[in-house]
């Protein structure tokens, strides 16, 4: 019997090299520079302070990944790099890429110890103690970089999440921990009778208020500051948790769900935007990779629809429905029982 193909193993051996190639090109400013004007490798090396031969190898590697093109000796952006890898693009993913390169790449190097101990790797990798998100927000620059990364991811998935669930019965969404409000904005655009309040930490709200003006929603979109674990929540008939539940263990999530259930009027709703594992845990691959990411950098994990349903029903919710988007985030909608 012939041996199975080694292709899957060989592909995984070099997979991290492909990621790091893109990370390095973003960190060096290659895509931002080429957005201004295409250029030959020698000019780029001089402007970016790089070794000419080494930079040309990186540029050609980006060509092989579909991130750059070359006409004669001049390098230029491709549509995908212009859309997602230039910081000036409204759909840029560069914030999350830079966060992945600077923080996650190092932390994943300690995955074995995370599996042995079942805890995140902030202390081991960076010597940091204290509350989890204080590490993301330890400087204004790092906070804005992390928020920008989450915003880019949200622009990819949020429109599909709110289109895949019936939000027509609701009139006021409270986007809990909503940062730039990409989920609230997408919901208001898809459901014209809806207005929304984004609720997040005071320093986050201060950093993201400009998104309200750029959304074109006017008074339909507002912001309120507070800590969703400890402070009262703004009033609404639909609460949303976008990529919040997966950050935390059940000892923190269960009280939060109960708190939201108690704040909702009868018949109100709770929208979760999270990546769903298959119920048999066979996939999707991206959900498992994100769950391991939660292991190394947070306190939570990705869950299946059945696991989310159990959490929601334990908090008093009913009529749980799910939509799978095929994108980085899926959606679930649950209701507080109506008055009989």
Give pLDDT tens digits for 121-130: 999 999 988 6
- Nearest-10 Cα torsion for 310, 158, 297, 134: -110
The per-residue pLDDT for 133 is: 67
Low-confidence spans in the chain with pLDDT less than 50: none
**What is the phi-psi region of residue 337: left when phi exceeds 0, alpha when psi lies from -120 to 50, beta otherwise?**
beta
- The angle subtended at Cα 288 by Cα 16 and Cα 327, nearest 5°, is 90
The per-residue pLDDT for 137 is: 65
The per-residue pLDDT for 136 is: 65
Q: Which of 120, 182, 211, 246 is catalytic?
A: 246
Please confirm, yes or no, whether 151 is among the known catalytic residues.
no
**156-335 sits in which CATH class?**
alpha beta
Query: Rounded to whole angstroms, what are the CA distances from 143 to 22, 139, 147, 169, 179?
Result: 22, 6, 6, 35, 11
The per-residue pLDDT for 135 is: 66
Give pLDDT tens digits for 185-221: 999 999 999 999 999 999 889 888 776 667 788 889 9
Whole-prediction pTM value? Answer: 0.92
Q: What is the CATH number of domain 7-84?
A: 1.10.10.10
The per-residue pLDDT for 130 is: 67
Cα separation of 147 and 255, whole Å? 25
The per-residue pLDDT for 160 is: 96
Q: Domain boundaries in the chain?
A: 7-84, 156-335
């Amino acid at each position: 019997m012939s041996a199975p193909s080694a292709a899957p193993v060989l592909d995984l051996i070099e997979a991290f090299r492909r990621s790091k190639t893109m990370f390095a090109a973003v960190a060096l400013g290659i895509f931002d520079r080429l957005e201004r004007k295409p250029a030959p490798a020698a000019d780029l090396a001089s402007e970016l302070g790089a070794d000419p031969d080494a930079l040309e190898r990186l540029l050609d590697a980006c060509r092989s990944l579909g991130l750059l093109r070359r006409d004669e000796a001049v390098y230029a952006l491709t549509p995908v790099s212009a859309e997602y890898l230039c910081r000036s693009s409204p759909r840029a993913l560069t914030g999350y890429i830079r966060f992945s390169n600077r923080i996650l790449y190092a932390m994943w190097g300690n995955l074995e110890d995370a599996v042995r101990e079942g805890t995140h790797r902030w202390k081991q990798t960076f010597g940091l103690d204290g509350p989890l998100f204080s590490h993301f927000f330890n400087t204004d620059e790092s906070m804005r970089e992390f928020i920008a990364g989450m915003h880019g991811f949200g622009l990819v998935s949020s429109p599909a999440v709110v289109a895949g669930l019936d939000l027509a019965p609701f009139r006021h969404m409270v986007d809990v921990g909503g940062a730039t409000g990409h989920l609230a904005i997408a919901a208001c655009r898809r459901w014209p009778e809806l207005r929304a309040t984004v609720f997040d930490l005071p320093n986050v709200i201060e950093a993201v208020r400009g998104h309200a003006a750029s959304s074109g929603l006017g008074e339909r979109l507002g912001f309120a500051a507070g800590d969703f674990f400890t402070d009262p929540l703004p009033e609404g008939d639909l609460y949303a948790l976008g990529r919040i539940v997966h950050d935390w263990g059940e000892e923190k999530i269960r009280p939060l769900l109960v708190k939201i259930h108690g704040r909702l009027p009868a018949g109100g709703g709770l929208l979760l935007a999270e990546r769903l594992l298959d119920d048999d845990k066979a996939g999707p691959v991206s959900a498992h990779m994100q769950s391991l990411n939660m292991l190394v950098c947070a306190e939570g994990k990705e869950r299946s629809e059945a696991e989310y349903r159990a959490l929601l029903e334990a908090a008093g919710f009913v009529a749980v429905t799910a939509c799978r988007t095929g994108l980085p985030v899926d959606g679930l909608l649950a209701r507080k029982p109506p008055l009989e």
